[in-house]
Structure 1
Amino acid sequence: MTTDVTDSSRNLERFSANLARIEELTQRLIAALQQKKGHTPALDAPGQELYGKAMTAFLSEAMTNPARLLEQQVAFWGKSLEHYVEMQKALAGQPVETEADPGPKDRRFSNPLWDSNPYFNFIKRQYQTNVAAMEQAVEGLEGLEPGDKRRVGYFTRQIIDMLAPTNFLATNPDALERAVATEGESLVKGLENLVRDVEANRGDLLVTLADREAFTLGVNIGTTEGAVVYRNRMLELIQYKPTTETVHNIPLLIFPPWINKFYILDLKPANSLIKWIVDQGFTLFVVSWKNPDASYAAVGMDDYVEDGYLAAIEQVKQIAGTDKVNAVGYCIAGTTLTATLGLMQKRGDKSVNAATFFTTLTDFSDPGEIGVFLDDDFVDGIEETVKRDGYLDKFFMSRTFSFLRANDLVYSPAIRSYMLGEAPPAFDLLYWNGDGTNLPGRMCVEYLRQLCQQNRLIEPGFDICGERVSVKDVRVPVCAIACETDHIAPWKSSFNGFRQFGSRQKTFILSESGHIAGIVNPPGKDKYGHYTNEGPMRSAEEWKEGAGYHKGSWWPRWRDWLSGKSGRMVPARPLGDSRHKVLAPAPGTYVAETPAP
């Protein structure tokens, strides 16, 4: 008896302490939310015009085909009533036979209580019925342009994902079980995590995906040995130390996207493309872009080409003692490399011997999922924001890309962190994903308006550094790697732009997986394979149908292609030269900068 009283007292004390801690954290949360900087509302949701079009299409359908709408409603009501009756029977202890879940198992509902407990089973099945009804309603909308229908479908899916019962404490059995088992401690830790994230983002909410204390650049991430050998206002140029006695004569220069940081290519030795390239006998240089602040407001695409691409190419030539380089562009950096090669062709500059493009879009006629954010409602909001602030804060880009995979990158991490009270994992890829960069105001608008919206690299041409260029002006040998499930640069769109290049020598490789995993896919594990086809590049569908599948990474295949474009073997080069002193060890200083808001 005494033991029971003691345990109850201790439980009450812990519960009271947790309540007091919640009160303290709530005050911190309120204070953190008050720090939120006002921003253009257009960055948060599509414009009213899209809602108007969707409502007009729905009303039109209701008037022209009321029988179908009524049929859908009756079916929805019938399903809902059936679920309710079955729940009542189950609560009364009567045996109930329910339908098996259609389609693949939804991992959000993996807890056995979703099937065994009448309350949770009713909630799950009703949510699934609601989802089916909403998807059917969107699919049935007639009279919408394809782009508008795609946007309505996308934002409907956002609502569907947001309203999942797993996202709410009262309807999440995992969170409730954890709260009971820990006497509320999990909820206190979850609130601590929530306050931490709101404070870190100055009043906005962005879920921390990885333990920020688990990694240190140059120590256990981004560790391939090298040095910064050149620096200007746009970039640091990193040369990596050779690991072979001889190297190919023509050096390789990688331009990563400035939307993210370059060390995605150097997370750890086992999956570092940078280390692997060096180990294959190439002299490797990588650009690390400046993370801009408001002082970069006037920096545009011209600056990225002149002070970025052309400056880096010239420095690499000087250091390597060659008159040519091979270049790689990843994502947006590949798009800009296309424009740069067109400009060099117009100027008669033959400094680039061959070029490779990772997950690159040059034809934006069908930009895929990201296209829902490229209409005027969002772009107008971005333009208004950068006119005021001088740059686009990394928060908005990170949020946008996260919501392209909302369940994986928003809701599931939020549940683990805020409801279950778990600490973020020590995961290098997610650490990099949360280490974003800002975008200069002028460059951001130029890219969105002229390349994404107006598709000027295809027609009538993109104006850059005093010349008008298009994909047809790219004449050097080229290789492109696209990724089969890429949701940022869809492979068919990448193929469609690439096939229009003016080059006579074009090699296209399709890797399995997505935008990151398809590129960071080292040999050995054979997790993802790739496709090749030496035949004509008439259409993506025809190319894929005739392509051969190869198990394992595309890296060795690309190495063989690159070797044939890199000249004879010469003694390995030291870092820098008499005019290019070592300024800092890799990964440099720009990559670690976080501009003040």
Structure 2
Amino acid sequence: MNDDSRKAGGADQDPFFMRDPEKLAANLARTIEEAGKAAGFWSRARESGMVSDSSFDPFADMLRVFSALGQYWFSEPSRSFEAQTRLFTAYMGVWMRSMQELTGQAEPDKPEAKRPDKRFHDPEWVQNPFFSSLRQIYEVTARWAEELVERADTLDDLTRLKARFYVRQIIDAMAPTNFVVTNPAVLRETLKSNGDNLVRGMQMFAEDLREGGGIPRLRQSDLGAFEVGENLATTPGKVVARNDLAEIIQYAPSTGKVLKRPLLIVPPWINKFYILDLNEKRSFIRWAVSQGHTVFVISWANPDERHRDKDWDAYIGEGIEFALDTIKARTGEDEVNAIGYCVGGTLLSAALALMAETGDQRIASATLLTTQVDFADAGDLKVFIDEEQLQALEEAMERKGYLEGGRIAMAFNMLRARDLIWPYVVNNYMRGEPPLPFDMLYWNSDSTNLAAANHSYYLRNCYLENNLARGRAELRGRKLRLSSVKIPIFNLATADDHIAPALSVYNGSRLFGGPVEFVLSGSGHIAGVVNPPAQRKYRYWIGEVHEEGFERWLETAEETEGSWWPHWQQWIEAQGNETVAARSFGPDEEALDDAPGKYVRKRV
């Protein structure tokens, strides 16, 4: 609706007209009251020692990085003047264009076609002069801030990486879409409902703060719409072994014949295994069973203070080796195919190097899904890892014996804050609308704690010092050398991965001593992996791993439409396709529990 039609229709037709000032004022007072409750939860959690912010402060690191950035721009007056001139010129361009639009001398500005931004999909961002100018000012300021980082020649690689990350966080946080009075959709709703939405939103924020124990647990999905074991993780199976660290689940066959080699899945301990068993249509586990695999899965315990000393030695011994012993006892087989997902794949790779040193040949082939073993190009997560930050984190973990799941979940969400944080802040806390049910985002919010010794070993030997790639990591008094791993490796990366960048995964492929099948899937860290063939989505690329680098590999790779799953199945069968009768559970066999077990049900 344009300005003339609004005037013709009167104030009642104006979406930005204040309909009931008295009721709006009352609701604003209620919103402030609910904000006070939220502030109370926040302060009590810190006063009681439930949450401590003093030992782990990312803002201190951000200030150090911005100090280095500022040193470059302010050390030379000409640089500072040039930067200010560029920004002023851009603002003048926005002002002149706005004047031309108001006088009819120019067509209304439109969001950039090259970078469509769904935050600005509301027509008011183009049609309304105020919101259009606001959007343009935000866009030119964001580009200017990004250029400050790229043009600062004196920054080292890590400082530049951090500067890019922190500038992007500020840019995303300061978007006009994140504030009530500068978001046309939220402002319309606020005036239409006389602020009811703000009351609901602040009530929801207080609930999330209380639920998170003083750390806001941002709802990305309707938490009441899902229940593990009911409509998530429903593939039939039994818990056939359990210790303090892991449950071993065996899944019931759905074919008369199965591959002789069982399949062991090592999931990440940072998240729960049922990302591979979301529902019947999107379950990799159910699909693998249907392809003739006898599937075993490790379900990690959700750590508490009892697990503080469980390091990688424990996770390999009480997880992977415990699972291999269980498989031998259950099937009689000496060889298995193994899959490791994300950090589960990193742990599996370390276990393979250790097994190569000791002559243990029980794993005959390994599949690594979005797994890093070389962390030189590990992406934005390196922002959180330097010696000072790691020492502070280790001190925080030492007090409890673990890192709270909410902290690591927030760190991962910050990698894609524009998609995983701010849309939900706006929808939940400003519009007062609960999120829609989405199983993948429910899993994303079902976070786990991280055992102190395990997480410290991982961060130091992978992200901080890259010891696993360099052959310097040690377990059980032995050096871990990936070059000694001679078994066939299927190594999957995803094109838009923000956690395990494709370049990093590709570089890791060259560290193994045996044949590696490198495959690049479309989409990201989760959707690129959980991509059933029936969905007919995305594509994948295959090609020889060579020394010319990832860019050259992309130029020569062969592209195929659809899911990578059938290609993986062909690869597995090429390693050994002998079959045996399906391994069913005995009618009188007693199991510890039905799948998905009890460990996966513990929430933090």
Q: TM-score range by the shorter chain?
A: over 0.9
Map of 1:466 onto structure 2: 477
- Is structure 2 residue 70 aligned with structure 1 residue 59? no
- Is structure 2 residue 59 aligned with structure 1 residue 45? yes
> Does the 8 Å CA contact 2:494/2:525 hold for their aligned counterparts?
yes
Matched letter for residue 39 of structure 1: D
Map of 2:293 onto structure 1: 282
Moved more, 79-88 or 277-286: 79-88
Give TM-score, length-normalised by structure 1.
Answer: 0.92
> Does the 8 Å CA contact 2:56/2:396 hold for their aligned counterparts?
no
- Is structure 2 residue 449 aligned with structure 1 residue 438? yes
Contiguous gaps of at least 5 residues in structure 1 = 5-9
Query: 542, 546, 551: which one pairs with 1:532?
Result: 542
Moved more, 15-24 or 243-252: 15-24
Query: 22, 37, 49: which one pairs with 2:31?
Result: 22
Query: 130, 134, 145: which one pairs with 1:119?
Result: 130
- Is structure 2 residue 454 aligned with structure 1 residue 448? no
- Give me the whole-angstrom Cα distance separating, in 2, the residues matched to 1:87 and 1:451: 51
Deviations 1:77-134 (A, max 9, x none): 233245446657777x766555544332221111111122222122111111211221
Query: 570, 579, 584: which one pairs with 1:569?
Result: 579
Quote the offset at 1:44 in angstroms: 2.9
- Is structure 2 residue 152 aligned with structure 1 residue 138? no
> Does the 8 Å CA contact 1:241/1:575 hold for their aligned counterparts?
yes
Instruction: Summarize the Cα distance change of 1:523–1:392 in structure 2 as closer, same or farther, 3 Å threshold.
Output: same
> Does the 8 Å CA contact 2:316/2:347 hold for their aligned counterparts?
yes
Map of 1:344 onto structure 2: 355
Give TM-score, length-normalised by structure 2.
Answer: 0.91
Map of 1:7 onto structure 2: none
> Does the 8 Å CA contact 2:509/2:545 hold for their aligned counterparts?
no
Map of 1:591 onto structure 2: 600
Query: 232, 237, 243: which one pairs with 1:232?
Result: 243
Contiguous gaps of at least 5 residues in structure 2 = 1-11, 13-18, 46-50
Quote the offset at 1:323 in angstroms: 1.1
Matches within 5 A, 1:101-180: 101-102=111-112, 103-180=114-191
Matched letter for residue 500 of structure 2: A
- Give me the whole-angstrom Cα distance separating, in 2, the residues matched to 1:77 and 1:336: 51
Q: Helix, strand or coil for the counterpart of 1:34?
A: helix
Query: 478, 485, 492: which one pairs with 1:481?
Result: 492
- Give me the whole-angstrom Cα distance separating, in 2, the residues matched to 1:30 and 1:135: 34
Matches within 5 A, 1:169-568: 169-503=180-514, 505-534=515-544, 536=546, 538-568=548-578
Quote the offset at 1:495 in angstroms: 1.2
Instruction: Summarize the Cα distance change of 1:556–1:94 in structure 2 as closer, same or farther, 3 Å threshold.
Output: closer
- Give me the whole-angstrom Cα distance separating, in 1, the residues matched to 2:482 and 2:24: 66
- Give me the whole-angstrom Cα distance separating, in 1, the residues matched to 2:142 and 2:196: 33
Instruction: Summarize the Cα distance change of 1:572–1:109 in structure 2 as closer, same or farther, 3 Å threshold.
Output: same
- Give me the whole-angstrom Cα distance separating, in 2, the residues matched to 1:110 and 1:99: 13
Quote the offset at 1:250 in angstroms: 0.9
- Give me the whole-angstrom Cα distance separating, in 1, the residues matched to 2:540 and 2:548: 19
Moved more, 165-174 or 69-78: 69-78
- Give me the whole-angstrom Cα distance separating, in 2, the residues matched to 1:162 and 1:115: 21
Quote the offset at 1:575 in angstroms: 3.1
- Give me the whole-angstrom Cα distance separating, in 2, the residues matched to 1:75 and 1:367: 33
Q: Helix, strand or coil for the counterpart of 1:485?
A: coil
Moved more, 429-438 or 25-34: 25-34
- Give me the whole-angstrom Cα distance separating, in 1, the residues matched to 2:281 and 2:450: 31
Deviations 1:326-353 (A, max 9, x none): 1111111111111111111111111111
Map of 1:35 onto structure 2: 44
Q: Helix, strand or coil for the counterpart of 2:492?
A: strand
Deviations 1:266-310 (A, max 9, x none): 111111100000000110011100000112111111100111111
Q: Helix, strand or coil for the counterpart of 1:562?
A: helix
- Give me the whole-angstrom Cα distance separating, in 1, the residues matched to 2:146 and 2:29: 44
> Does the 8 Å CA contact 1:483/1:515 hold for their aligned counterparts?
yes
> Does the 8 Å CA contact 2:109/2:126 hold for their aligned counterparts?
no
* Aligned sequence identity (%): 37
Quote the offset at 1:41 in angstroms: 4.8
Moved more, 214-223 or 561-570: 561-570
- Give me the whole-angstrom Cα distance separating, in 1, the residues matched to 2:521 and 2:35: 47
Moved more, 514-523 or 74-83: 74-83
- Give me the whole-angstrom Cα distance separating, in 2, the residues matched to 1:213 and 1:409: 19
Q: Helix, strand or coil for the counterpart of 1:457?
A: helix
Q: Helix, strand or coil for the counterpart of 2:507?
A: helix
Matched letter for residue 39 of structure 2: I
> Does the 8 Å CA contact 1:356/1:479 hold for their aligned counterparts?
yes
- Give me the whole-angstrom Cα distance separating, in 2, the residues matched to 1:82 and 1:538: 45
Q: Helix, strand or coil for the counterpart of 1:480?
A: strand
- Give me the whole-angstrom Cα distance separating, in 2, the residues matched to 1:452 and 1:94: 56
Query: Across the two proteins, how many residue pairs are aligned to each other?
Result: 580
- Give me the whole-angstrom Cα distance separating, in 1, the residues matched to 2:326 and 2:100: 77
